[in-house]
Structure 1
Amino acid sequence: MIPTGLPPAVHADLSRVIESLGMITPRWNARILITLAGQPLRYTEIKSRMPWLHDGQLHPKLRRLSDAGLVERTEHGVRHVTYGLSARGRDLIPVLAVIAVWGDTHLEKPAPTAAGAQPASTVQDIEDSLVLISYRHATPILWSLQARGTSSAKAVAADAMPGHGLSAVYPRLRQLVDDRLVDTDEAEADYRLSPPGQALAPVYRALSAWAAGRPLSDAATHPVWGHPPAPSQSATGMWASTTAKTPPAPQTTPAAQWRAGDLFSHQVPARAGAPAGGHRR
Structure 2
Amino acid sequence: MPTSAQPPSFSFDSFDAQCVEDALARLGPKWTTWSAMVLAQENRFVRVREVADQIPFISQQFVGKRLARMYADGLVDRADGPRGALYRLSALGESLTPVYRTLSDWSRARLSPGVMAEAQRVEDALQRLNLQDSTAVIQVLGASGPMRFVHIAEEAGLDNTWARQRLLRLQADGLVTRAGSRHGDPYMLTSAGEALGAVYATVEHWSEPINGRRASPAPRPVAAATRTHAGVPLGADGARTAAALRRSAAAPTSLFSHAPQPQPRVPAAVTVQSAPGRGR
- For normalisation by structure 1, the TM-score amounts to 0.71
Is residue 182 of structure 1 aligned with residue 187 of structure 2? no
CA deviation after TM superposition for structure 1 residue 53, in Å: 2.4
Q: What's the CA shift for 1:61?
A: 1.1
The residue number in structure 2 matching 1:237 is none
Correspondence list, 1:47-58, <5 A: 47-58=52-63
Match of 1:197 in 2: 193
Could you give the per-residue CA deviations for residues 48-72 of structure 1, whole angstroms, max 9, x where no partner exists?
Answer: 1012222321111111111111100
Larger RCO, structure (CA 8 Å, separation 6 or more): 2
1:106 aligns with 2:100: no
In the other structure, the counterpart of 2:19 is: 16
Instruction: Note the alpha carbon deviations across 1:134-175, whole angstroms, 9 max, x for none.
Output: 23332111111111122221221113243x13x442332233
Conserved in 1, the CA contact under 8 Å of 2:177 and 2:190? yes
**C-alpha separation in 2, matches of 1:230 and 1:208:** 25
Correspondence 1:157 to 2:153 = yes
Q: What residue is the counterpart of 1:133 in the other structure?
A: 129
**Contact 2:76/2:93 (8 A) holds in 1:** yes
Q: One-letter code of the match for 2:243?
A: P
Partner of 2:32: 29
Which residue identity does 1:192 align to in structure 2? M
- Superposition pairs for residues 1-281 of structure 1, below 5 Å? 13-38=16-41, 39-40=43-44, 41-75=46-80, 78-79=82-83, 81-108=85-112, 119-162=115-158, 164-165=159-160, 167-186=161-180, 187=182, 188-213=184-209, 215=215, 217-220=217-220, 228=224, 249-251=242-244, 252=247, 254-256=251-253, 257-262=257-262, 264-265=263-264
Deviation, structure 1 residue 80: 7.1
SS in 2 for 1:37: helix
The offset of 1:196, in angstroms, is 1.2
CA distance in 1, matches of 2:50, 2:162: 46
Q: More displaced, 134-143 or 121-130? A: 134-143
Task: Give the gaps of 5 or more residues in structure 2.
Answer: 1-12, 229-237, 266-272, 275-280
* Distance of aligned partners of 1:216 and 1:258 in 2 relative to their CA distance in 1, 3 Å threshold: farther
Work out the CA distance in 2 between the residues paired with 1:11 and 1:158.
20
Separation in 2, partners of 1:68, 1:101: 25
Contact in 1 for aligned 2:110/2:191 (Cα 8 Å): no
Q: Equivalents in 1 of 2:197, 2:130: separation in Å?
A: 15
Q: CA RMSD in A?
A: 3.1
Aligned equivalents of 1:56 and 1:144: distance in 2?
Answer: 41
Give the C-alpha shift of residue 231 in structure 1: 5.0
Give the partner amino acid of 1:54.
S
CA 1:227–1:198 in 2, change beyond 3 Å: closer, same or farther? farther
Q: What's the TM-score once normalised by structure 2's chain length? A: 0.71
Residue 79 of structure 1 deviates from its aligned partner by 3.0
- Are the counterparts in 2 of residues 202 and 250 from structure 1 also a CA contact under 8 Å? no
Unpaired segments of 5 or more residues in structure 1?
1-9, 111-118, 233-245, 267-279
Aligned-residue sequence identity (percent) comes to: 23
